[in-house]
Amino acid sequence: MPRDHSQQGFIRRLGAGLLAGALSVGTALAQESPWLRPAAVPAPADNQPTATRIELGKKLFFDPRLSGSNWISCATCHNPALGWSDGLPTAIGDGMKVLERNTPTILNTAYNRFQFWDGRARTLEEQAIKPIIAEVEMNQDMDELIEELKAIPGYVALFEAAYPGEGITADTIAKAIASFERTIVSTESPFDRWQKGEENAVSDAVKRGFELFQGKARCVVCHQGFNFTDDGFHNVGLKGDKDPGRYKLVKVKVLKHAFKTPTLRDVELTWPYMHDGRYQTLEEVVEHYSRGGDTKVVDPNIRPLGLSKQEVADLVAFLKSLTGDRRPIEVPELP
Amino acid sequence: MPRDHSQQGFIRRLGAGLLAGALSVGTALAQESPWLRPAAVPAPADNQPTATRIELGKKLFFDPRLSGSNWISCATCHNPALGWSDGLPTAIGDGMKVLERNTPTILNTAYNRFQFWDGRARTLEEQAIKPIIAEVEMNQDMDELIEELKAIPGYVALFEAAYPGEGITADTIAKAIASFERTIVSTESPFDRWQKGEENAVSDAVKRGFELFQGKARCVVCHQGFNFTDDGFHNVGLKGDKDPGRYKLVKVKVLKHAFKTPTLRDVELTWPYMHDGRYQTLEEVVEHYSRGGDTKVVDPNIRPLGLSKQEVADLVAFLKSLTGDRRPIEVPELP
């Protein structure tokens, strides 16, 4: 078990969260704020980012030839026009079959300790290949893909420039895509400007919302730190949920119907919400937590919060203050 | 019949083409070259382009909510990463059913007298709606789409800014998309720089290819003017072609299996070729014409040309000189 999922763990982390919150509410502490981005985006030693790796990865990310149908690219579902997600309750895959889980955003996956809703991959390199070869997603035979790419002179040159002597392999495909994904990180938001000391960067509603976030609403128990996630898995009491979630991989009772805590950065753009996309709006999400979820769960933090209408609105205002400045994404030209 | 499709017409136009060619080969005539872009992109009086119309149209063009599945956008098939086409022999539509015709590029459709391979629409406004509502393409009920868009405040504001007082209707949706499409026009290519007098903008192979294009290879008969099309329909002798093409709309024998002459601007980027995407490379296309097609056709210009290997290569070099400078396309953020 990589994290402490016990009840005591939650309470311990709540305490830490509330402390961190108390330090940062009202008086911003410039670079010391625990809510600001760490200086560097982490990357593995054997895949340090370079301009050519990122460029290659971007082309691969946007290239529909990475699917068996040659019609679906990573960007089809992780669409930059829709917050690097797809706006659908649950994803659509090969043959346009509707799948079971909501498409997670690519944003800040560079910082994830786990990838996918159930954490079945750790690194972006490990993650990148899985949707390509999954029959229900992009349904691409990897050996065929490698042959396809080898037949495109532009790609041969790009791979050689990015990974000299390594050739076109599942490994270099994954590394290049991961390198691009590590550039998809959140940009400065009104919330960040406030944390850096700009008092007028956000409204009073946002400030009240942030206080609720760290206090009465207990959001901070799971949504901690710059990326607003504890990198853990939680059952948040979704009614009728048939999906075992993390439990499928780790047979611990508390992980039944538990899913990875998503980032809240740019959360305004990544509707609908929850692992099955059941809520269209952030108001619905906050109300879900306010009523303590819809099923009995082990987690003591999922319990009625009794938020007023104003408090719900303040929390939503705060969540929307996490939307980063727009950073233009240019469509690559494919070789 | 908007054009003269008779044999005499072809010969007349060949004469004109050869004359125009003679004027422009070798000595470039600056702005007088018939191969250079006309000053303005044409637009209908009731839909003159404005920045807000173009911005709205771009968002609609990239928005998968314009399909019944909410997963397919105009840009899925008219993909800017692939020359505003999809790289597939024939298009894929709703349910990922493979369709019968190659996805035409959006490039320079602003200049078309006819839209679609069979010319079943005249204006871009008329064209834009058809793939949205076609069951086999985007399969979107128009009334439902209008309701969907009306429920998105960002769109309501954008439509009001673009078409004040007109509301969200099939008409304003079409007008906005058409306004955006009119911005997707070819950029300056090495060929254009040569035509403007820059002698070293192209290789000798390109120059020889352009001479063949206007002479021995007879390409200019159909591929005329700045946009390299006569806006007409021709049967070019594709073996086993079951598609009636223009004949379905206009019952004239010469139009059996006749399809619209596509632009050659950026043709390097819009593989595969022909209305059914049967050829992957420009070499194959040129060889098709060199052998006079694969079936007997009425058109006297489709006949064996006896091009040498070098001549085929020169023609392909010329065609590639029509690839315009890359113009960055930014992914819009959707409301």
Residue B120 sits in a domain of what CATH number? 1.10.760.10
pLDDT digits (tens, 9 = 90+) for B199-212: 999 999 999 999 99
pLDDT averaged over every residue in chain B: 91
Looking at beta carbons, which residues of chain A come within 8 Å of B333? 81, 269, 326
Same domain, A222 and A177: no
Contact B330 A331 (CB under 8 A): yes
Residue B12 lies in a domain: yes
Contact A329 B330 (CB under 8 A): yes
Residue A105 lies in a domain: yes
Contact B81 A330 (CB under 8 A): no
Same domain, B111 and B211: no
Which position among A32, A126, A137, A181 bears the catalytic label? Answer: A137
Report H helices in chain B: 7-24, 51-62, 74-77, 124-133, 142-150, 153-162, 170-181, 190-195, 204-214, 282-290, 309-320
pLDDT averaged over every residue in chain A: 91
Residue A331 lies in a domain: no
Contact B69 A92 (CB under 8 A): yes
Give the end of a domain, one of B181, B197, B232: B181
The beta-carbon neighbor of B329 closest among A71, A86, A330 is A330
| Minimal CA separation from A67 to chain B, in Å | 12
Same domain, A230 and A155: no
Chain B's closest residue to A328, CA to CA, is B330
Residue A53 lies in a domain: yes
Check pLDDT > 60 for residue A227: yes
Residues of B with CB under 8 A from a CB of A: 62-65, 69-71, 76, 79-82, 86-88, 92, 94-96, 269, 326, 328-334
What is the DSSP-derived secondary structure letter of residue A279? B
Residue A176 lies in a domain: yes
The ipTM, to two decimals, is 0.87
Contact B334 A82 (CB under 8 A): yes
Residue B16 lies in a domain: yes
Same domain, A61 and A167: yes
Same domain, B117 and B216: no
Contact call for residues B84 and B187 (beta carbons, < 8 A): no
The beta-carbon neighbor of B81 closest among A94, A326, A333 is A333
Residue A167 belongs to domain spanning: 45-181
The beta-carbon neighbor of A69 closest among B65, B96, B328 is B96
Q: For the residues B254-281, what does the mean pLDDT come to?
A: 97
Check pLDDT > 80 for residue B172: yes
Q: A100 catalytic, yes or no?
A: no
Check pLDDT > 70 for residue B27: no
Which position among B32, B125, B126, B137 bears the catalytic label? Answer: B137
What's this model's pTM, rounded to 2 decimal places?
0.89
**Quick one: pLDDT band at residue B299, thresholds 50, 70, 90?**
confident
Cβ neighbors of A113 (< 8 A, separation 6 or more) are A2, A122, A231
Q: What is the structure's pLDDT at B31?
A: 52
How far apart CA A33 and CA B110 sit, in angstroms, is 53
Cβ neighbors of B173 (< 8 A, separation 6 or more) are B60, B128, B129, B132, B145, B146, B149
Which tokens belong to A235? 């059952």
Looking at beta carbons, which residues of chain B come within 8 Å of A85? none
Residue B328 lies in a domain: no
Contact B333 A81 (CB under 8 A): yes
Same domain, A155 and A103: yes
The beta-carbon neighbor of A81 closest among B81, B95, B334 is B334
CA angle A199, A200, A206 (to 5 degrees): 90
The domain total for chain A is 2
Give the end of a domain, one of A150, A181, A212: A181
Q: For the residues A202-212, what does the mean pLDDT come to?
A: 98
Same domain, A16 and A117: no
Residue A211 lies in a domain: yes
| Minimal CA separation from B139 to chain A, in Å | 13
How far apart CA A335 and CA B269 sit, in angstroms, is 9
Q: For the residues A184-200, what does the mean pLDDT come to?
A: 96
- Inter-chain contacts counted by CB atoms under 8 A, chains A and B: 69
Same domain, B154 and B58: yes
Chain Cα centroid distance, residue A226? 13
Same domain, A24 and A129: no
Q: For the residues A253-259, what does the mean pLDDT come to?
A: 94
Same domain, B177 and B89: yes
Same domain, B256 and B156: no
Contact A81 B63 (CB under 8 A): yes
Same domain, B155 and B59: yes
What is the DSSP-derived secondary structure letter of residue A306? -
User: Which runs of E-coded beta strand occur in chain A?
Assistant: 233-234, 259-260
How far apart CA A122 and CA A131 sit, in angstroms, is 14
Give the end of a domain, one of A181, A210, A245: A181
